Structure 1
């Protein structure tokens, strides 16, 4: 047993990608005694907020490393999400009804989440190698030969294991020729971060608006006086009704939603997590959280000696959420009067009774799959 533990501690692991998934994997390994190498092509943690919702289950998973305490100190606690049509509120999703000590969705810009993780990782003795990317990968029976492009030129290195957390265009996944099955929606979406005053809605809550033409808009506070809006149109803030004042638009972006999943999440010595393994709509705020779950599973299984079961555990979970998020998206974007009437009626009933919401809210919270 001591020999196995020593072999684990001596293992050389490369993590490709220093977003929340890769950083979680690095923190989880480092706190158990393995110092991984982690690289990322960016110059520093992302300046964009991107994902903002941290689930109760993610907070559970990140607590042993000391990360959750810092996230909780920095984030906003969202306990309600209101759903409305153009003329009335349909109902409220009560995250506060969860039977869990973290009965809220923690709202924190991804840049802050990453900065907190990078800081904790440094305390554990690991520094992210920025401006470094995977330029080549070749797996053999007892290791992985990689080429890393660094600011000082290309470097050859050998690792026992590689964890690919390098996003939807994953170089790790492409190097393994693993098919990324699915499709990308043609409809263009947009996001906007803005400073807003005179906010007319419930403080510290999310607001979702469903429009008759199939447009939808969602907005959530991310900092004091700052909000993140998301829409399936080219102007996210335009789809948020109400008497409020946008004092400054901080940043905007446009994107297309993928619904894709890697055919498998692992080979013999290389593993995938986060957007490198699965990508889907932002509905339900599960993307970053699924990646955090992937990463903690990888670290746990590495130390348990059960890495062979990684795909078997994580792939079905990713698949179920892709299917559910696509179903929710179709319902939210419905344009048929009949479909809208049924949707609105269902929302109005479920929105009044937290007990009816519990299975769905537990899935959003990561507490039930």
Structure 2
């Protein structure tokens, strides 16, 4: 019998992104071997999320994952905000009273690769090209049908953890609505190698423009950067004298603001983008999913899964609400609103005392 667990549960994890992989890591390090499936051909080739919070590092440390992440990633300790050619203020992650006093920057594809390697060390692996077709909850188990490379399979599990993204098959099978909306404005992403970078090394930069355009940029490797903008050309909204030596990737997306009505049924549970989706402002999306997964495993061991939604749903709701406020504030074109926003950024950006509570929330250390 595993300490903390009344019996060895049989668990299916659907989705092998950071949320699903965290759940698998937390289970396997305690001797619980889940089955983890993903419909994709393999790990994501895209960067997607890049910011790993101090609290996520706390969660991933016992499995040995954080040590590997720290050896590969960049440590971002400052975030500069600009408007109209002048700097409004600087947020100092280094002022956090925590041993991880930084935001870790690493493309999601690399984060997932490291997590999968650690999972392999524990003796578990992801079953790629394996799709959940349907599931049916019973009093004793969940019956599922899987479409695998070897054909259709039927299996039984004690619990299913759905970490399969905004289009979650698990959520649909649970009959849970995904309430909210998707913003019409198109955003863009660009990953690029940049020479002659004119700003402070190893810092993130945000540029707010009078017409409501915004541009964010963060280093993700040696001379490599990730730019995000609410326009069709992310790098065009990053001012400065620099040279793009190679454009590595571009993409476009629309920002959702949605949340599952509930995160669980009797035996099925949701985490990450399957449960909540919001803007990338605040760098909390991937980290909330990691926290969801850790909560699921902890409550499984404590036999308190009945309260999973009660714990995690309010956290998701608060971040959707806060990220929407931050989004409106960032892309406002009202001169009056800009003046108030810029005054606030100046005040907070020049006072580590004032920025402390917000930084703790961004770091996942306070809700």
Does TM, normalized by the shorter one, top 0.5? yes
In the aligned structure 2, how far is the partner of 1:278 from the partner of 1:238? Answer: 30
Per-residue deviation, 1:45:
1.1
Matched length: 367
The whole-number CA distance in structure 2 between the counterparts of 1:206 and 1:200 is 12
Q: How does 1:126-145 map onto structure 2 within 5 Å?
A: 126-145=124-143
Give 1:125 deviation, angstroms.
1.1
Deviations 1:248-300 (A, max 9, x none): 11111100000000000000000000000000000000000000000000011
3-state secondary structure, aligned to 1:137: strand
Q: Is the CA contact 2:189–2:234 (under 8 Å) kept in the aligned structure 1? A: yes
Contiguous gaps of at least 5 residues in structure 1? none
What CA distance in whole angstroms lies between the structure 1 residues aligned with 2:334 and 2:13?
Answer: 46
Q: Residue in 2 aligned with 1:337? A: 335
- 1:318 is aligned to 316
* Whole-angstrom CA distance in 2 between matches of 1:273 and 1:306: 16
Once residues 156 and 33 of structure 2 are traced to their aligned partners in structure 1, the CA distance between those partners, rounded to angstroms, is 15
Deviations 1:332-351 (A, max 9, x none): 11111100111111111111
CA-atom RMSD in angstroms: 1.1
Extract unaligned runs of 5+ from structure 2. none
Confirm or deny: 8 A CA contact 1:178 1:264 kept in the other structure: yes
Which residue of 1 is the match for residue 120 of structure 2?
122
Q: State the secondary structure of the residue aligned to 1:256.
A: strand
Q: Distance in 2 between matches of 1:364 and 1:286?
A: 7
| Alpha-carbon contact 2:14-2:37 (below 8 Å) kept | yes
Deviation at 1:86, TM superposition (A): 2.4
Checking the alignment, whether the CA contact within 8 Å between 2:5 and 2:302 is kept in structure 1 is no
Alignment partner, residue 104 of structure 1: 102
1:26-80 Cα deviation digits (max 9, x unpaired): 0000001100000001111111110000000000011111000000000000000
Aligned to 1:297: 295
Report if aligned partners of 2:81, 2:206 keep a CA contact under 8 Å in 1: yes
Q: 1:200 maps to which residue?
A: 198
Residues 251-330 of structure 1 aligned to structure 2 (within 5 Å)? 251-330=249-328
Render the CA deviation track for 1:109-168: whole Å, top value 9, x for unaligned: 101100011001011111100111111111111110111111222111111110000001
In structure 1, what is the equivalent of residue 244 of structure 2? Answer: 246
Q: CA, structure 1 residues 52+267, in 2 after alignment: closer, same or farther (shift >3 Å)?
A: same
Q: 1:366 Cα deviation (Å)?
A: 0.1
Change (3 A) 1:254 1:306: same
Separation in structure 1 between the aligned mates of residue 69 and residue 122 of structure 2, nearest angstrom: 17
TM-score by length of 2: 0.98
Please say if residues 8 and 303 of structure 1, whose CA atoms lie closer than 8 Å, have aligned partners that are also in contact. Answer: no
Matches within 5 A, 1:21-36: 21-36=19-34
Scaled by the length of structure 1, the TM-score of the pair is: 0.98
The whole-number CA distance in structure 1 between the counterparts of 2:114 and 2:177 is 33
User: Contact between 1:192 and 1:236, CA under 8 Å: does it hold in 2?
Assistant: yes
Q: Work out whether residues 135 and 149 of structure 1, in 8 Å CA contact, stay in contact via their aligned partners in 2.
A: yes
2: CA distance, partners of 1:341 / 1:265: 40
What secondary structure sits across from 2:188 in the alignment? strand
Supply the distance in 2 between the matched residues of 1:6 and 1:238 (Cα, whole angstroms). 53
**Hey, what's the Cα distance between the residues in 2 that align with 1:339 and 1:173?**
39
User: What is the rounded CA distance, in whole Å, between the counterparts of 2:216 and 2:2 in structure 1?
Assistant: 53
1:182 aligns with 2:180: yes
Moved beyond 3 Å, runs of 4+: 2-7
Provide Cα deviations, 1:212-231, integer angstroms capped at 9, x if missing partner: 11100000000111000000
Specify which of 141, 159, 162 is matched with residue 161 of structure 1. 159
Name the CA shift for 1:5/1:59 in 2 (closer, same or farther; >3 Å): closer
| Partner residue, 1:42 | 40
Q: Secondary structure at the match of 2:259?
A: strand
Aligned residues of 1:8 and 1:34 also touching (Cα < 8 A): no
CA gap 1:343/1:148 in 2 versus in 1, 3 angstroms: same
